[in-house]
Structure 1
């Protein structure tokens, strides 16, 4: 058997596994959500021991926990780099397998946040979760096939999950420079989000070419929501004043103004 035939067999078995998981989607969802919910409870218990926790609003508490959970699922999404590399270097296409395993596992984190916080989700987070759920529905219920553009999109979302985790430190760090570093993580995501919107736009185009209007509508809704939340988020971060936020939050919580010590700003108790 030559390399091409062997590759075809491997891809075939990978796709069979993916299709089997989708055929068992209710059981699949229950197992994934149960595991991730256990992880979420542990993350929340750990966060409760942080000195900042009692000073945060319930909305920010939930945001921190959700950000932490998605951070821990981000390596699963970043594994898409291997899939893209295999496709470019050797022509192995495991996109559908990756979507039905890695993407859906990570997407389950959004599902449990959607269920647990509905209908009290902030509007931008509502749109984010809705976009993820629309993506999952395409593969779980409407038989869409995973392609490399979706893997690309998933890798970008994984990078965003890391950036969101790092930027959530603005709510609890006691040092202004660390807050500024957290904000820079969001600025670094601008090109990633532009590339993700390009991938979504291409998926809309392919849906029209394939005469699949349902997929075109779902993907257009995803693109609109993604673009809206991206613009809304970056307007917030570009206007965010770390020193002012620290002065009205952390400095008050820990009863001391920010002072400069050895080139770094910290709060004196």
Structure 2
């Protein structure tokens, strides 16, 4: 059965068309969801005993991770959809890709509006531009949804899960949990590598078909994503969880009035050889 003959494909396309036709309503709804998730993050993080001792940048990152964590399971559906598309030939990716890309872009755009240029950490600017540009491609430029993009967004779901776990490095009162959370950050490297490969493949496809605008925007997305990927991986490769814990949570457990600084975070990273 051809993809355009599948009733599932027609339903998915109808949903995506409805979102596009009512994009302002969709933006309001998704912005509201993002705001509620951020409020949820603030309430969760404020209950953590060590949270107030962290730097403002670290607080921002932790709340950003908490905001996205409840939505991560929704993105993981992409793996199921990719298998379904490959098994049946029915492309049901459009609704999933449009809504997930729209939601991710909305969250990053909301942060961009609220925190840039004063409070948005400069190293995350590339990332936010990349996500927003990807959302524009699906929502405004008609980037075709495929099974590869389903895997891409599902990998983002995995990334959001490991980001949530990374919060334990800075909040857990247990050194064992801190070390475990650090090791977990390496589990997402295959997913991120896969995403870079998917984007490179899509850039090549766009160039071969002469859609240079899409190719250029995908290149921006790929560069931004890769930059954060490399920066994050290099940080955790150098990070010494035991040293960080002993100079932070270990001290705070003794009720010492020490607050975290950016320099103290870097001191937990091993010097590269």
Give the TM-score of the pair, scaled to structure 1: 0.88
Contact 1:77/1:103 (8 A) holds in 2: no
What is the match of residue 193 of structure 1? 192
1:236 matches 2:235: yes
**1:149-199 superposed Cα distances (whole Å, 9 cap, x missing partner):** 221110111101101110121111111111111111111111111111110
Inter-partner Cα distance in structure 2 for 1:236 and 1:100: 32
- Equivalent positions of 1:1-269 (< 5 A) are 8-119=6-117, 120-255=119-254
Structure 2: stretches of 5+ with no match in the other structure: 257-273
**1:122-173 superposed Cα distances (whole Å, 9 cap, x missing partner):** 2332222221111001122222222222211101111011011101211111
Q: Which moved more, 1:110-119 or 1:194-203?
A: 110-119
Inter-partner Cα distance in structure 1 for 2:73 and 2:125: 23
For these two proteins, the number of residue pairs brought into alignment is 255
Give the TM-score of the pair, scaled to structure 2: 0.87
Structure 1: stretches of 5+ with no match in the other structure: 258-269
Contact 1:149/1:203 (8 A) holds in 2: no
Inter-partner Cα distance in structure 2 for 1:46 and 1:188: 25
What is the match of residue 263 of structure 1? none
The structure, 1 or 2, with the larger RCO (C-alpha pairs under 8 Å, 6+ apart) is 2
Inter-partner Cα distance in structure 2 for 1:56 and 1:185: 21
**1:15-72 superposed Cα distances (whole Å, 9 cap, x missing partner):** 1220220122122111111122022112202321221121011211111111011111
Inter-partner Cα distance in structure 2 for 1:91 and 1:170: 43
Inter-partner Cα distance in structure 2 for 1:140 and 1:75: 22
3-state SS of the aligned residue for 1:73? helix
Aligned CA distance change for structure 1 residues 53 and 196 (closer, same or farther; 3 Å): same
Inter-partner Cα distance in structure 2 for 1:201 and 1:32: 29
Aligned CA distance change for structure 1 residues 103 and 204 (closer, same or farther; 3 Å): same
